[in-house]
Amino acid sequence: MSATTMPRAARPAAGERSGGPTFGRVVAAEWTKLTSLRSPWWTALVTVVVAGAISYMSATASSVDPGFEPTHDLSTGLMLAQLGPLVLGVLYGAGEFRTGAFRTTFTLVPRRWPVLAAQAVVLTAFTLVLGVVTVAVCVAGVVPAAASRDMPLRLTEGETPGVMLGMVVLLLGMALLGLAFGALLRRTVPALVTALVVLVFLPVTLMMMSDPGTDANGMALPHSVTPAGAISVFTPGTGITLLTTSASSEGMPGTPDVGPVGGGLVVGAWVVLLLVVAGVRLRARDAR
């Protein structure tokens, strides 16, 4: 019997054999989960193609205008393409719960919140690459229109670098807000509907409410802040919209002029708030 006991005693105990679920290994596992599915790649491809195609069409259509400036059409494609990262984030955040994989995941990582943090890290990395590629494709989409008018494409001058940075941050913000809604609500359809209402429909409604209107001659009133506009600037949807505006513009009618940096701070605050609430729900409530 000593023959069998010897090797078993020599083998290290399970706890010593590995360092347990370190954060790096949770991140590696989440990276595999995200990239081994086909849908994130399809979503990314659709996002890039839609953004590029729309900026090409929009720049080509407006290249006949006398005041045409090629860099102004860079971000036009994002109005539709921003849905891609949002859907990606919602599906990724809720996917764990939808498929039942969370039972395995939370058995291995009993403290649970490192999983959510790792998901945020992984999604940030994925979306940053996606955002850079999308901006590059948008620039490529504007080139033919600029060439047709023999206009130089001034990407490094004035506010254009800021707008391009804002485009990447916009895609990142949509993905992380989607992740937060998905992780918080845990079911795809409610999370998707909530995210769409808050991020797509609410800004439009608030924009209609906050418009100060026109004077008796039908001319726009001078810039003034309306109550609805003051509320709207603190909503994530309006923050997202502000990200790709140029810093020198007057802002949207009726809203305080906080510029793209202010919009980015609002979006960042909402991302942190919603992810923290999702983390608290993970810690305090049952996962079934």
Q: What angle separates helix 39-62 from helix 113-148, to the nearest 10 degrees?
A: 30
The residues, ordered by sequence, that sit 6+ positions from 198 with a Cβ below 8 Å of its Cβ are 181, 235, 236, 237
Q: Give contact residues for another protein (rule: CB under 8 A).
A: 54, 58, 61-62, 76, 79-80, 83, 87, 90-91, 188-190, 192-193, 196-197, 200-201, 204-205, 208-211, 213, 216, 226, 228
Helix-strand-coil split of the chain, %, nearest 5: 70, 0, 30
Crossing angle of helices 259-284 and 160-185, in 10° steps, is 20
As measured in angstroms, the least distance from the Cβ of 214 to another protein is 8
Q: Which is closer to another protein, CB of 62 or CB of 246?
A: 62
Least Cβ distance, residue 102 to another protein (angstroms): 18
Q: How far is the CB of 4 from another protein (least distance, A)?
A: 48
Min dist. Cβ of residue 141 to another protein (A): 14
Q: For helices 113-148 and 83-99, what crossing angle results, to 10°?
A: 160
Measured distance CA(243)–CA(287) in Å, rounded: 35
* CB of 27 or CB of 56, closer to another protein: 56
- The minimum distance between CB 13 and another protein, in angstroms, equals 43
Angle of the 188-196 helix axis to the 83-99 helix axis, nearest 10: 160
Question: What is the radius of gyration, based on Cα positions, of the chain?
Answer: 23
Nearest residue (CB) to another protein, 124 versus 188: 188
216 or 284: whose CB is closer to another protein? 216
Residue 213: Cβ within 10 Å count: 9
CB of 273 to another protein, least distance (A): 23
Nearer to another protein, 37 or 193 (CB): 193
- Look at residue 220 and give its three-state secondary structure: strand
- Pick the closer one to another protein by CB: 26 or 245: 245
DSSP state for residue 221 in the 8-state scheme: P
Shortest distance in whole angstroms from residue 51 CB to another protein: 12
> 12 or 218, CB closer to another protein?
218
